[in-house]
């Protein structure tokens, strides 16, 4: 078994840390514990794929599908020498059934003691640390949901009437505000442009108006990344300017959002934070935007640091890709949110605060079986996109896994698409190779304004003018973006970055790793530089004779200039993966699919890529039929947050 795991590692099927865990346990356990050792390695491997646990029932039913092995980059040689997962399971377990495996695990010293490295919960196997994270989240959210607040529905209705006016049809934004008053935990979910920012400002105003004679509530706004935090700040600030009915509490509504790391306070050389259960945050309300990007470890840290009396409000799109790190917090909490599943009691309470009753199909007599949904509101209608055409229609069809309209678009979206209103801002370019002349032309046109701005360096040596110039360039990076589904290969992120760098800068890019105009993305948190995974900067010269520096925008709107030598973990960002694009939006988004089908192509991946586009979306691929295959495939991350 260890020999096979060694081969898997040598050929890139598993990580060094997965193999190391297996080797350490093998030294500590008896020979009859080979199954436990193997399953421990697979738990670690699944963690690297974003699953906080290993679903044993799925593993025994479909090993290759559950593990995604062999990987998409597997060579012919590796396929010849590496056994498939089902073969390794059969060899190690000697035909052992799922029930036998569960019994062996329950008796193993790797599982049974309280300080053991593994935890078996129902039919899921966890590394202990991640099991503890999940339990912390479940326990905390259960307590906040159980803490029902004393709110007079008639008084609440008066406040909501002031903020929303009289309603002739159901207002889910108003429903979300009412829902948030009932307990200390609330989720607001919906796609781009469905009104989450519009709602959160009114939600905060409602909280402040209902506080009575007490001091204004202390409110903190946060997001997983610096870019998401900056956009949250800008959106809330703009929305406040349009809302005249809250002048009495406007000063009590914050507009500055920070990253979750800054909210909690990072500690050097530590996974912990300054704010924790022993030193909680000084706040009454915490609102987290882009919550789909929050992983299980970070969410556990947030609930630990949150005072027991404070409200936690999550905003996000449950249909997006889950966090890059382990966990699918929002997806698990919001499962089935589109159907409501509200208890009759909750429906009656919400109706008492509204002009229009909730649709009858959102009420469920068995709604108590969906505890998180009793604190969740889902928005369905996008104010940004027309649901009957273009980006809005495409995103909706992919999300609902519908094929008919997609097939028409893939068939008709080239030459005559420009004349069809339903395809007004979406295009599909089928090209045989990624370096096709038409692709180069599209890229050069897309990045032409960026190059023009870079050449327009201010003549003055004023630091303020130079910072404004850098800020404009960073803003321009949001106008055009290549998103790839995969990292490697001809259609992958790395080769697209090399290709684009050469198209735009020629030999300068080929000969020098650092060159003026190179956008870079931070790939790992760097607490010493206060940079986070996903932060975007661009290489510039503040003056012609000065050395190169990398400009980053801060959440406060300032510019930081860092020497390239201080940045050890960055990628060029002319192209980025769809996963890395979460929390960002681009005026024109070009999504690139690989030539052949791979397991990573799912409806969630397509939906996330499509909804990064604000005004124009282009699909670039060699085989348009891959879209239809991807739409049929869904991501199912393992986890037990929704268990009773």
Supply the angle between the helices 153-164 and 172-182 in degrees, to the nearest 10. 140
How many residues are present in the chain?
644
| Long-range contact pairs involving 217-220 (C-beta distance under 8 Å, separation at least 24) | 217/252, 217/284, 217/285, 218/282, 218/283, 218/284, 218/285, 219/252, 219/253, 219/254, 219/283, 219/284, 219/285, 219/286, 219/287, 220/254, 220/258, 220/263, 220/281, 220/283, 220/285, 220/286, 220/287
Classify 107 in phi/psi space as left (phi over 0), alpha (psi -120 to 50) or beta. Answer: alpha
**Residues 566, 567, 572, 575, CA torsion sign:** negative
195 is in an annotated binding site: yes
Q: For residue 516, report the phi and psi dihedrals to the nearest 5 degrees.
A: -65, 130
**Within 10 A of 17 (CB to CB), how many other CB atoms are there?**
14
Rounded Cα gap, residues 209 and 152, in angstroms: 13
Measured over the CA atoms of residue 399, residue 405, residue 408 and residue 413, the dihedral's sign is negative
End-to-end Cα spacing for the chain: 36
Other C-beta atoms closer than 10 Å to the C-beta of 413 total 21
CA 570, chain centre distance (Å) = 19
CA dist 556 and 585 (Å) reads 19
Residue with tokens 């108590």: 368
**C-alpha closest to that of 499 among 570, 444, 567:** 444
Rounded-to-integer distance, Cα 290 and Cα 612, Å: 13
The answer to whether 326 and 295 have CB atoms below 8 angstroms apart is: yes
Q: Six-digit token pair at 379?
A: 């928005």
Task: Please give the backbone phi and psi of residue 392, each rounded to the nearest 5 degrees, phi first.
Answer: -60, -45
**Nearest in space to 230 (alpha carbons), one of 542, 585, 476:** 585
Handedness of CA 433, 452, 588, 327 (dihedral sign): positive
572 known ligand binder: no
95 is in an annotated binding site: no
Centre a 10 Å sphere on the Cβ of residue 475 and count the other Cβ atoms it contains: 11
Closest of 296, 297, 372, 374 to residue 334, by C-alpha = 372
Name the burial class of residue 156, with classes exposed (0-12), middle (13-18) and buried (19+) by CB atoms within 10 angstroms of its CB: buried
Residue 90 CB neighbours (<10 A): 14
On whether 35 is known to bind a ligand per the annotation, the reply is: no
Phi-psi region of 536 (alpha: psi -120 to 50; beta: other; left: phi over 0): beta
Q: Is 193 annotated as a binding residue?
A: yes
- Residue 193 Cα distances to 257, 379, 589, angstroms: 19, 10, 16
Task: Please provide residue 419's backbone torsions phi and psi, each rounded to the nearest 5 degrees.
Answer: -90, -5
Is 543 in contact with 463 (CB distance < 8 Å)?
Answer: no
Q: Is 190 annotated as a binding residue?
A: yes
Cis bond before residue 70 (omega within 30° of 0): yes
Which stretches of 147-295 are DSSP H helices?
153-164, 172-182, 196-209, 226-242, 260-264
DSSP secondary structure string for all residues of 308-361: TT-EEEEEE-TTS---SSS--HHHHHTTTGGG--B-HHHHHHHHTT-SSPPPGG
Binding-site sequence positions:
190-197
Binding-site sequence positions for ATP:
190-197
């Amino acid at each position: 078994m260890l020999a096979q795991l060694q081969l898997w590692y040598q050929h890139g099927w598993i990580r060094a840390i997965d193999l190391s865990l297996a080797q350490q346990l093998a030294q500590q356990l008896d020979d009859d514990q080979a199954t436990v050792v193997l399953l421990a390695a697979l738990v670690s491997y699944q963690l690297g794929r974003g699953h906080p646990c290993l679903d044993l029932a799925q593993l025994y039913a479909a090993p290759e599908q559950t593990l995604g092995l062999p990987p998409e980059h597997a060579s012919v040689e590796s396929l010849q020498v590496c056994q498939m997962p089902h073969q390794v399971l059969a060899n190690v377990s000697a035909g052992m059934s799922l029930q036998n495996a569960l019994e062996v695990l329950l008796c193993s010293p790797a599982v049974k003691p309280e300080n053991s490295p593994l935890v078996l919960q129902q039919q899921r196997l966890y590394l202990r640390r991640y099991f503890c994270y999940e339990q912390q989240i479940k326990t905390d959210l259960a307590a906040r949901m159980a803490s029902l607040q004393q709110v007079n529905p008639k008084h609440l209705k008066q406040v909501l009437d002031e903020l929303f006016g009289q309603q002739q049809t159901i207002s889910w934004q108003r429903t979300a505000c009412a829902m948030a008053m009932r307990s200390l935990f609330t989720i607001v979910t919906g796609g781009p442009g469905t009104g989450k920012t519009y709602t959160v400002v009114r939600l905060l105003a409602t909280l402040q108006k209902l506080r009575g004679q007490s001091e204004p509530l202390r409110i903190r706004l946060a997001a997983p990344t610096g870019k998401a935090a900056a956009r949250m700040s800008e959106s809330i600030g703009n929305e406040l300017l349009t809302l005249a009915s809250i002048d009495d509490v406007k000063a009590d509504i914050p507009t500055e959002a920070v990253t979750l790391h800054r909210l909690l306070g990072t500690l050097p050389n530590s996974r912990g934070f300054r704010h924790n259960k022993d030193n909680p945050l000084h706040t009454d309300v915490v609102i987290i935007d882009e919550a789909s990007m929050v992983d299980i470890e970070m969410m556990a840290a947030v609930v630990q640091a949150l005072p027991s009396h404070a409200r936690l409000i999550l905003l996000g799109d449950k249909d997006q890709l889950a966090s890059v790190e382990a966990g699918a917090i929002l997806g698990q909490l919001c499962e089935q949110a589109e159907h409501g599943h509200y208890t009759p009691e909750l429906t009656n309470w919400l109706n008492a605060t509204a002009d229009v009753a909730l649709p009858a199909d959102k009420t469920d007599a068995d709604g108590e079986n969906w505890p998180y949904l009793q604190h969740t509101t889902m928005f369905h209608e996008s104010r940004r996109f027309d649901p009957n055409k273009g980006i809005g229609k495409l995103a909706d069809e992919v999300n609902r896994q519908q094929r008919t309209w997609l097939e028409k678009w893939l068939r008709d979206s080239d030459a005559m698409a420009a004349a069809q209103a339903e395809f007004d801002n979406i295009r599909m370019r089928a090209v045989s190779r990624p370096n096709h002349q038409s692709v180069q032309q599209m890229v050069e046109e897309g990045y032409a304004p960026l190059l023009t701005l870079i050449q327009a360096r201010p003549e003055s040596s004023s630091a303020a003018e130079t910072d404004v110039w850098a800020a404009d360039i960073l803003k321009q990076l949001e106008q055009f973006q290549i998103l790839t589904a995969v990292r490697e290969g001809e259609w992958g992120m790395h080769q697209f970055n090399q290709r684009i760098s050469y198209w735009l800068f020629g030999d300068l890019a080929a000969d020098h790793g650092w060159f003026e105009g190179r956008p870079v993305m931070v790939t790992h948190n760097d607490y010493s530089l206060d940079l986070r995974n996903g932060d975007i900067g661009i290489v510039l010269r503040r003056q012609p004779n000065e050395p190169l520096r990398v400009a980053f925008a801060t959440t406060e709107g300032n510019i930081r200039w860092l020497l390239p030598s201080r940045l050890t973990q960055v990628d060029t960002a002319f192209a980025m993966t769809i996963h890395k694009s979460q929390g960002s939006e681009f005026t024109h988004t070009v999504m690139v699919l690989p030539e052949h089908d791979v397991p990573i192509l799912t409806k969630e991946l397509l939906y996330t890529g499509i909804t990064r586009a604000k005004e124009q979306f282009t699909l670039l691929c060699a085989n348009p039929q891959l879209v239809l295959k991807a739409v049929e495939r869904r991501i199912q991350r393992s986890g037990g947050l929704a268990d009773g």
